[in-house]
Amino acid sequence: MDNWKYGQYIRNGLRHQKQHRLCQDSVFFAEDDNCVVAALCDGIGSLPESGLAAKIAAIATCMILQKCAGIDFRVHASNPNGMLKDLLEQVDSYVAAKFRERGIDRESGDSTLAFVYISKKFGYGFAASLGDSAVCLIQKNGNMCLTESNAHSESTATINMRTPWEYTKSDVFELNDDNFLGAVLSSDGMDGVLFAKNSIQVYKNTEFYFNAVQTDDFEKTIASKLDPMIEQYSDFLDDDISIAVLSRATEDIEFPEDPTWLCSCGARNTLDDTYCSVCGSDFMDVYRNVPFERFGGKTQFFMYANSRPEYERNVIKPQPAAKPAEQPRANPAEKPADRPFAKPRAVSSEPMSDKQWKNILTSAAQADGKVKQGTRVIKGVKGKPDEKVRWWQKRSLLVAGATTLAVSVTVVALHKRNGKLPDTNHK
């Protein structure tokens, strides 16, 4: 029998503190003999009653899922939207009813929703995220983040919108194979620290937060890490922050290293870097011909490539121009990755043969628009404000380098005179 540990941390954002407003994030856990539920809701800042809406929605999610403990949701796996639709409609009407009781307009408060439901009874789990909150699934065969897609980019998707289930990312997983270790739920206040928006990537940073549940005082452990970070990166971490951890691990878990992109100059860069931190090469030029969508996305591609050095070097070698006459290989099994490390079907051996390359290059040329869209994540606006990374320093250095060669030469010369080179390689 698993011993589930949980911990939560909620912090009023600096922006809200300045406006004398309360934190609008809510976290609730529920556990009984049949199930464990963790729910996290991030209130919509522009609406006055969102703190209340988030609280009611998180409680309602726990209650409703607990009541459903006798149902095996996997039966509905062929139509997960149907199941989510029912759940989200029930949560929404619960919030509406509680607002009505208090004489509050339903439109005056709203929230996102992220939850994990563990069925002890049937031995499976079900996780979902609506909006820009995230559920990071911690798994032996690779971590995976469920968070908002590009589908609803103007404002975040919420419970009180028209068809929230269409904007929800979900996953059903087995518990009996021991692959699933737990989950980290988070509001978008930690976007860029724990997870990357519009990506399945869970940063290695998350390791600390997940393992904090093994300590005696989860909140204190998290605060000891976050407080100095918030002080240092106050303009970056100014939003409400909420973190909920659910774990069945019995000891600290080591997370894999974050994927990096290898530049033709040999430097490694984080996937947030648009330009090489050493030579300034544009990511889009170095990986111009790589069809990331064949791997399920940019992150998955680099997870695959990073563990195969020879293959990785071959990818960035200058490639011959594609012959547009050749037909790309059909790949009907391809879909947006719902599992990490999904083995790309088009690539079976390494390095790729010329024929395979031609196939891939041809389809890449045709899907050029798509490839570009898929890499929009790398706008370079956010980096990870971890100890190691000072993103604005790196960026300003690059800007200097790009403006004129003379300026960058001067920068390097100055640093040299001080006895050290600028810290461009954070590894």
Nearer to Zn ion, 227 or 285 (CB): 285
The residues, ordered by sequence, that sit 6+ positions from 138 with a Cβ below 8 Å of its Cβ are: 180, 181, 182, 183, 184, 202, 206, 210, 247, 249, 253, 255
- x-marked contacts with Zn ion along 368-387 as a string, rule CB under 5 A: --------------------
**169 contacts 156 by C-beta, under 8 angstroms:** no
- Least Cβ distance, residue 257 to Zn ion (angstroms): 19
The residues, ordered by sequence, that sit 6+ positions from 288 with a Cβ below 8 Å of its Cβ are: none
Q: Which of 77, 265, 407, 413 binds Zn ion (CB under 5 A)?
A: 265
Q: Which of 193, 237, 241, 267 binds Zn ion (CB under 5 A)?
A: 267
Q: Please give the residues from 302 up to 361 whose contact with Zn ion meets the rule CB under 5 A.
A: none
Token representation of residue 313:
């070097």
Nearer to Zn ion, 373 or 396 (CB): 396
Nearer to Zn ion, 262 or 342 (CB): 262
253 touches Zn ion by CB under 5 A:
no
- Least Cβ distance, residue 307 to Zn ion (angstroms): 21
Which spans in 307-390 are helix H?
A: 309-316, 354-366, 368-374
Distances (CA, A) of 248 to 8, 27, 116, 184, 223: 15, 19, 13, 12, 22
The piece of 65-73, 211-219, 281-289, 341-349 that touches Zn ion (CB under 5 A) is 281-289
Q: How many CB atoms lie within 10 A of CB 403?
A: 10
The piece of 213-221, 237-245, 266-274, 329-337 that touches Zn ion (CB under 5 A) is 266-274
278 touches Zn ion by CB under 5 A:
yes
The piece of 61-69, 160-168, 258-266, 356-364 that touches Zn ion (CB under 5 A) is 258-266
- Least Cβ distance, residue 267 to Zn ion (angstroms): 4
**4 contacts 32 by C-beta, under 8 angstroms:** no
Nearer to Zn ion, 170 or 408 (CB): 408
263 touches Zn ion by CB under 5 A:
yes
Token representation of residue 287:
């990986």
- Least Cβ distance, residue 278 to Zn ion (angstroms): 5
**240 contacts 11 by C-beta, under 8 angstroms:** yes
Nearer to Zn ion, 178 or 282 (CB): 282
Q: How far apart are CA 92 and CA 164, in angstroms?
A: 10
Task: Report, in angstroms and rounded to the nearest whole number, the Rg of the chain calculated over CA atoms.
Answer: 23
Q: What is the 3 state secondary structure string of 58-79?
A: HHHHHHHHHHCCCCCHHHHCCC
Token representation of residue 305:
């490539």
> How far from chain centre, in Å, is Cα 150?
13
In single-letter form, the type of residue at position 226 comes to L
Nearer to Zn ion, 66 or 274 (CB): 274
Nearer to Zn ion, 60 or 263 (CB): 263
Nearer to Zn ion, 22 or 421 (CB): 421
Nearer to Zn ion, 279 or 365 (CB): 279
# residues near Zn ion by CB under 5 A: 7
Exposed, middle or buried by CB within 10 Å (0-12, 13-18, 19+), for 90?
Answer: middle
284 touches Zn ion by CB under 5 A:
no
Distances (CA, A) of 56 to 31, 51, 149, 258: 18, 9, 25, 36
Tokens 């010329």 found at: 354
**408 contacts 401 by C-beta, under 8 angstroms:** yes
Nearer to Zn ion, 244 or 276 (CB): 276
Q: Which of 276, 290, 378, 398 binds Zn ion (CB under 5 A)?
A: 276
The piece of 35-43, 125-133, 269-277, 337-345 that touches Zn ion (CB under 5 A) is 269-277
Q: Which of 281, 314, 319, 366 binds Zn ion (CB under 5 A)?
A: 281
Exposed, middle or buried by CB within 10 Å (0-12, 13-18, 19+), for 285?
Answer: exposed
The piece of 103-111, 204-212, 226-234, 257-265 that touches Zn ion (CB under 5 A) is 257-265
The piece of 100-108, 149-157, 276-284, 416-424 that touches Zn ion (CB under 5 A) is 276-284
The piece of 31-39, 179-187, 259-267, 352-360 that touches Zn ion (CB under 5 A) is 259-267
Q: Which of 279, 352, 367, 400 binds Zn ion (CB under 5 A)?
A: 279
Q: In DSSP terms, which residues pair with 245 in a beta bridge?
A: 7, 184
The piece of 3-11, 250-258, 262-270, 300-308 that touches Zn ion (CB under 5 A) is 262-270
Nearer to Zn ion, 286 or 377 (CB): 286
Residues that bind Zn ion (CB under 5 A): 263, 265, 267, 276, 278-279, 281
